[in-house]
Chains A and B, each alone.
Chain A
Amino acid sequence: MSSAEIVLFAIRGALKLGEQARAAYVDSTRRRALVLPLPDFTLGTNLQQAVTYLINHPLQDSSRMQSLMVKLNDNVPLTEEEKQIVVDHHNDQLLAILPGSSGFATANDGSVVAQSSLDALVTIRQWRREDDPTKSTLQRIAGSLIEIGVDYYLEMPGALDSDSKSGRAVKGFLEGLDTISFAEESIGDLPRKLFIITLETLSENPELLSDSEKSQVLIKAATAGIATDVNAKILELRASEGGANLGKEQAIRFWGETVFRSLLKSTAKMVLDNPAKFLDVDDAGKSALISKVGGSFLDMVDEIPFGELETIFSEKTLEAVTDAALAAVAEYPELVTGDDSRLGPLITQLAKDMQAMDTLYTKQSIPEITRIVLAATGENLELIWPPGDEPGKNFALLAAKSTIEVLSAPSPHGSSWQLTFSSTDFEQVVELVVDDIAESPVWLTTALDEHDGKLKPVLTAVLASIRERGDKKLLTRETAVSLISVAMHSAAISSDFIKTVPNRGPFIAALVDVILNSAFSDVTAVSWRMVKYEFLVGLTDHLVQELQDYSIDDAKLEGVLTAVESELDSYAQRLKDGGDVSLDGLLTKLETEIEGVMQS
């Protein structure tokens, strides 16, 4: 950099800072409070006023005052002391009218209002606080400092070695900021924080620098997108509330920082994992992908109350969700490109639906459920969310909602097994259900048919069997969740498992019921062996594997159940009697029995 360039930069920088500093000084002068002098008048009660008042408001309870009033009436001159008594009494009468008048204290100079209080009362600011049209000094100066910093870097890239990989990345950030006039916007110190996040992310994720030129474009898009969206959200908030709301604005900025950090980290991973898919998009396309994903997550502040977002989403969970969103848009750019982005409304809908369930565990599951739905959507967009469908009709979202609705329903009164599922349980079952519908188009349409969807009734029946047969002390939540998972997976494998058995309900639910009934038939001898994760889940899974090889017509469903029931009862009896109780032996016998039913 030549000396002339330094001089020019110094002039430009000083002028820019000087302009804003002066503007701040002008604003401060315009808003400066004035102490206003009161008009000249003698404030205080004289004898004349006191007498006039007391004539109109005669006293009943003061013989002294009554005697003084008689003297006045008779034109008998009062002593100075008596005059003061009349005036004091008059003042007391007036003060007594005021609520809380006992709190009045006479100052040293005899006044009721202290000088300091009077000074404060007549120190008048130019505008009401909510009407003040001037900008704060901090806002003007902070904005200008950043503008100067941006100018400095853009004008003298050599100073930070823009040819280096990190230099390019930082330049991308500064270019993103350069699109916004900070001194005129309402994003406070967000740019400074975004800058720090960028530097931190670069040092922790060197993969972001693997293709520095393209990374520069991505970082620029993330920066400009988040800063612009945060600003727009704050202006929207101010318009709706008729003024600034510092608490909510701070919450929006904080959420913007969190989203930005996740966006950068996820972008770094995408660059590393899938460079061909992600980096071969043209610059405008890349910018749209990044900024729209960030904007979509920022919109969550509209659905989840301030204060809850940061407790629901940790950095780690938001990063996982962002990964899924970026993967989805990398696979299907149409999710965010075009006139109407679909990603934002889907995420908003997810947050809205999960919020509506309003239970502690469902709220905790918002990040993971969002990730699961986005991942499924990104894997098979045409199947999961056909073009033109509203966000509420995304099949992954529908499946997740249905599953959580059933699992979070309170157990019926008198149920044997009343344990409540945790957020992790919800997530495990939802992931399995969503994966299954994504892999099986037939199961998807059967499970989530608008009028006769099987997902909810089957899941409800399986859970009802567990609640009915299970023992809360013996059957763990983990085992119950696995039983449900095996059962729901069977539905995706074969339609036979969701056929209705007369008086027993869906076949898979009836099968679970039979197994649990035997397992809990005798707590001391039988349950000791049978109510174990490996036994219950292993047995159910084995039966599902065995049965899926057959095409079971309706007439044989009851036969299968009876055969299994009979064999398990025999097994239980052997347990009581001390006979052969190996699991392998049981499975072999069950296979034989089932084969017999099928061939009959």
Chain B
Amino acid sequence: MKLKVTLSCCVLFLLSGCISNYYNSINYVREAQTAFNEAAAIDNSDVTVTLQSAEAGYAAAIAAVNGLEADEEALETAISDNLYGIALTIKALSHWKLRNWDASLAAQQSALTRYSSNRDSLGTRDLVLLNALPSLIKHGQEVSRLNQGVSFTCTGSVTSLDCTQSSPSFANVTRQLQEALGELVGAIESAPPSHPVRFYLAASAVGVLETGLQACQQVRLNGRPLNESTIAVCRDNEVPLSETSARTIASNLCAGRTTDQGEALFQVIINHYSALLNICQA
């Protein structure tokens, strides 16, 4: 009897060693998820003093994914378990939040390429996010440009300001935001009905609209009136908020609520962002 117990214990001991290696790939991914989730929660709280903590969290998430990629055995297991797509998604999103645009796009491309023949293995949320990521990156890039200075650098007299050659280029900023908004609205529509990722994308679209508003205001802050050329550029490059897009955003922000509330929110969005349609013509 004693022998049996001893042998059983030996077996369990040996197995526990095997099992710990067996779980490595999962642990890397869960570590990345935990770090990313904590960072995002801090990030969304919008408390400036903790922003560095959020950035540290994103960095930790990236480090966990890098650790997985450096561990050949674990990586192989993660790929066969369909966990690598999750890891790459987290890596891409983390780089986006750290404004490492190229690294973010590289991770995004890596995920989409690896799962090109079997997109379902990525999971609904991750696939939608990876497809929406380029638009989020475009938006992030323009926010960075706008945050570099309080205003666009325009030339000309105070009474006839020329911003057509401004730095950064107002035309480029608005064009990028215009594309980002269109792509985000497309991503919302590509997600399954009632999937919660739709809310996130709709909220992100509001962010793009806000940034567009900010860009137009910064042009105006340079002084008025603008010269004819600048007004023309504004008109041609303003971020368009079509009724269709506004409705898509409103209905997904209102998911699960009544149609009346969705319609009301649509009105708020149209009213709030109507400036986008005419600010440059003022």
Contacts and interface: CB of A to CB of B under 8 A. Distances in A.
B30 to A, nearest CB: 6
B210 interface: yes
B124 A3 contact: no
B36 interface: yes
Contacts of B29: 29
Contacts of A592: none
Nearest to B122: A126
Contacts of A29: 26, 29-30, 33, 83, 86
A97 B264 contact: yes
Given A26-B83, A38-B207, 17 more contacts: A10-B8, A22-B22, A26-B26, A30-B86, A30-B123, A34-B37, A40-B207, A41-B143, A48-B220, A52-B279, A53-B274, A94-B268, A99-B264, A124-B196, A124-B197, A126-B125, A131-B124
B44 A122 contact: yes
B203 A38 contact: yes
Contacts of B93: 36-37
Nearest to B41: A35
Interface of A: 3, 6-7, 10-11, 14-15, 18, 22, 25-26, 29-30, 32, 34-43, 45-46, 48-49, 52-53, 56-57, 94, 97-100, 115, 118-119, 121-128, 131
B196 A37 contact: no
A539 B93 CA distance: 95
14 contacts: A10-B8, A11-B11, A26-B26, A30-B86, A36-B197, A37-B39, A41-B139, A97-B267, A98-B265, A100-B261, A124-B196, A124-B197, A126-B126, A127-B195
B184 to A, nearest CB: 9
Interface stretch (B105-113, B153-161, B211-219, B241-249): B211-219
Contacts of A100: 261
Contacts of A123: 37
Nearest to B6: A3
Contact of A98 (B194, B211, B261, B279): B261
Interface of B: 3-4, 7-8, 11-12, 15, 19, 22-23, 26, 29-30, 33, 36-41, 43-45, 54, 81-83, 86, 90, 93, 97, 123-126, 129, 136, 139-140, 143, 192, 194-197, 199-200, 203-204, 206-208, 210-211, 213-214, 217, 220, 258, 260-261, 264-265, 267-268, 271-272, 274-275, 279
B44 A34 contact: no
Contacts of A119: 41, 44
B11 A39 contact: no
Nearest to A49: B275
A98 B269 CA distance: 11
A37 B143 contact: no
Contact of B272 (A15, A48, A53, A115): A53
Contact of A34 (B36, B194, B195): B36
Contacts of B275: 48-49, 52-53
B39 A41 contact: no
Contacts of B39: 37
B242 to A, nearest CB: 18
A94 B125 contact: no
Contact of A14 (B15, B192, B207): B15
Given A34-B33, A38-B44, A131-B124, A7 B7 contact: yes
B11 A10 contact: yes
B220 to A, nearest CB: 7
A127 B197 CA distance: 9
A30 B89 CA distance: 12
A373 to B, nearest CB: 49
A99 B254 CA distance: 12
A36 B192 contact: no
Contacts of B36: 34-35
Nearest to A100: B261
Nearest to A7: B7
Contact of B271 (A10, A25, A32, A53): A53
Contact of B30 (A32, A36, A57): A32
B40 A43 contact: no
A131 B37 CA distance: 23
A586 B12 CA distance: 93
A122 B40 contact: yes
B12 A37 contact: no
Contacts of A11: 11, 15
Contact of A35 (B3, B7, B40, B261): B40
B203 A128 contact: no
A98 B264 contact: yes
A14 B275 CA distance: 66
A370 to B, nearest CB: 45
A278 B275 CA distance: 87
Contact of A38 (B82, B124, B195, B204): B204
Given A11-B11, A34-B33, A53-B274, A18 B44 contact: no
A118 B11 CA distance: 49
B55 to A, nearest CB: 11
In the A-B complex, the 6 residue pairs with the smallest Cβ-Cβ separation, listed nearest first, are: A41-B207, A37-B40, A35-B40, A39-B207, A126-B123, A37-B43
A98 B258 CA distance: 11
B50 to A, nearest CB: 12
A39 B204 contact: yes
B20 to A, nearest CB: 11
Contacts of A25: 23, 26
Given A34-B90, A35-B41, A37-B97, A128 B11 contact: no
B203 A122 contact: yes
Pick from B30, B136, B194, B196 the residue with the most CB of A within 10 Å.
B196
Nearest to B263: A99
A42 to B, nearest CB: 6
B231 to A, nearest CB: 16
Contacts of B23: 22, 25
B40 A128 contact: no
Contacts of A40: 140, 143, 207
Given A30-B86, A99-B260, A121-B199, A42 B210 contact: yes
